[in-house]
Amino acid sequence: MTGRAEIKTALGAAQLIGEQAPIALSPNDPDGLQATVPPSPNTVRAAVTGDVNSLFLVLGGVALLVGGLGIANVTLLSVLERVAEIGLRRTLGAARRHIAAQFLVESITIGLLGGLVGTSVGILVIVAVSAVNQWTPLLDLQLAVAAPVLGAAIGLTAGTYPAWKAPLSSP
């Protein structure tokens, strides 16, 4: 004979009741009953936190990709608009590596400044939200330092092709 019993519990007591209910309902054969309990609030919280963190990482990755493409586009347009300047520098004796280095430095600077601005805005938002909600703001100093460095690395990566193309675009 198969039966089913539903036991309503106070919030947070389901785990304990789930362990004790088979013993209370069938003291002679508690193994004959199966108790199914909802997951603990800590488990649910950890799962939701993990999912939200994953979502933010994906969104951050997409934002970094878009930012890198923007830097590459701006640097490539700068190369195309400055063909005369590149030609003049080549005529005056600048080596191809000097011209490439100039555009690499420009793209690294754009990425570094973007990282600094993004970090500053992020810190201000965290402090403002914490102040409004009367929370203590928690800031990870390593992330605050790493963000501009990551911006510079993305600027370097995004500016590599335009910098390689720049010396070749002179007449």
Phi, psi of 36 (to 5 degrees): -110, 120
- Taking the C-alpha atoms of residue 132 and residue 111, their distance in angstroms, rounded to an integer, is 31
**Residue whose C-alpha is closest to residue 69's, from 139, 150, 155:** 155
pLDDT (mean) for 12-23: 81
- At residue 1, does pLDDT exceed 60? no
How does residue 113 score in pLDDT terms, banded at 50, 70 and 90?
A: very high
Q: What is the pLDDT of residues 58-109, one digit of tens each?
A: 998 999 999 999 999 999 999 999 999 988 998 999 899 999 999 999 999 9
Query: What is the reported pLDDT for 170?
Result: 61
Query: What is the reported pLDDT for 116?
Result: 95
pTM to 2 decimals?
Answer: 0.70
How does residue 10 score in pLDDT terms, banded at 50, 70 and 90?
A: confident
Exposure class string for 146-167: b at 16+ Cβ within 10 A, else e: ebbebbbbbbbebbbebbeebb
Taking residue 130's Cβ as centre, other Cβ atoms within 10 Å add up to 14
| CA 22 to chain CA mean position, Å | 46
- Taking the C-alpha atoms of residue 116 and residue 68, their distance in angstroms, rounded to an integer, is 15
Q: Are 167 and 96 in contact (CB under 8 A)?
A: yes
